[in-house]
Amino acid sequence: MEGFFAWFQWLYDETGINLTYFYDSFDRARMIGGFFTTIWLSLVCLFFSSIIGIVGAWLQGSRLVWTRRIVQGYIQFFRNTPPLVQMYFFFFALGNLLPRVKSEFGFMEPMLGNFTWAAISLSFFAGAFNVEIFRSGIEAVPESTREAAESLGYNRLQSYLYVVLPLAFRVCLPALNNNLVNLVKTTTLAYAIAVPELLYVSNQIWSDSVNVPEMMTTLLILYVALVGLLVWAMHRWERAIRVPGYGT
């Protein structure tokens, strides 16, 4: 492994292509950390946005007019404003309203860090789309299917879990995937509030080592590989479970 890293040092000396994140252990740790921060941020947001989607879809079916209106307002707000503005709003406006706490070094620090705020704002952003998607997915399952399940002796929860949700999920998946891919791309915006994700650490590295072209190319290739892999895997899954005759 050392020989592999040393080769990049040689590459730099010979050709001037400076890939510091291979031969410099500090930069390597930063780069790997950034990569996993991006993935972790995406996973956290995926999880919470799904929960927001499910709860929101359930609330939208509520009998109370105001519950429905609030959910609708939430969707409209987060769908039609730029995610960058939302992130600024959460981090600078709401972040300043929360009380400050003492950190382990004795400094006064905001209660929630920038990663948490990025996760919150992106989850709400992606969640707004998920509410609509889950809602139409559940709407698509006919009442007669539910009745058929009931006539076979399923109770309400069982018919929901074993009949309605699996069908709804198969209908939802293409739209959910679009949302997921969009979410992974949107994590780059966390750069604006200094979350150490891939774009941010690359920026740090190229500021330190002045190797902008190498870092930019690496960044582009990493993102394209990450998103490309995701799109490819999701399309395969979609094709495998699609309901014949619906969508393409």
Partner 1 sequence: MSSTTDLPVLLPAAQRLAERARREREVGGPIPRLTARHGAWLAVILVFSAGAAGAQAGAAQESVLSIMLKWTPLLFQGFIFNLAISFLAMAGGTAAGALLGIWQISLLPPVRAGSWLVTQFFRNAPWLVLLFFCMFLLPFQVEIFGVVIPLPDWIKATFGLSLPVMANVSEIVRGAIQSIPSGQWESAESLAFNRRQTLWQIILPQCVKRMLPPWMNLYAILTMATVLASVVGVSEVMTLTGQVLSAEGGRTDLLVPFYSYILLWFFIYCYPIARLTVRLERHFVVKT
Footprint of partner 1 on this chain (CB under 8 A)? 76, 79-82, 84-85, 129, 133, 136-137, 139-142, 144, 167, 171-172, 174-175, 177-179, 182, 185-186, 188-189, 191-192, 199, 206, 212-213, 216, 219-220, 223-224, 227-228, 231, 243, 245-248
For the bound state, the minimum distance from the C-beta of residue 11 to partner 1, rounded and expressed in Å, comes to 20
For the bound state, the minimum distance from the C-beta of residue 113 to partner 1, rounded and expressed in Å, comes to 21
For the bound state, the minimum distance from the C-beta of residue 105 to partner 1, rounded and expressed in Å, comes to 28
Paired strand residues for 49: none
E strand or H helix that includes residue 108: strand 108-110
Contact between residue 121 and residue 83 where contact means Cβ atoms under 8 Å apart: yes
CA nearest neighbour of 194 among 109, 116, 100? 116
**Gap between the Cα atoms of 126 and 120, Å rounded:** 10
Q: Which residues of 226-238 are buried (b: 16+ CB within 10 A; e: fewer)?
A: beeebeeebeeee
For the bound state, the minimum distance from the C-beta of residue 25 to partner 1, rounded and expressed in Å, comes to 25
Pick between residue 161 and residue 243 the one whose CB is nearest to partner 1: 243
**Gap between the Cα atoms of 9 and 209, Å rounded:** 13
- How far, in Å, are 5, 12, 32, 60, 165 from residue 2 at the CA level? 5, 16, 17, 57, 51
Pick between residue 116 and residue 177 the one whose CB is nearest to partner 1: 177
Pick between residue 30 and residue 42 the one whose CB is nearest to partner 1: 42
**Gap between the Cα atoms of 214 and 182, Å rounded:** 26
Pick between residue 1 and residue 97 the one whose CB is nearest to partner 1: 97
Paired strand residues for 101: 109
For the bound state, the minimum distance from the C-beta of residue 180 to partner 1, rounded and expressed in Å, comes to 12
Pick between residue 68 and residue 185 the one whose CB is nearest to partner 1: 185
For the bound state, the minimum distance from the C-beta of residue 93 to partner 1, rounded and expressed in Å, comes to 8
Pick between residue 124 and residue 129 the one whose CB is nearest to partner 1: 129
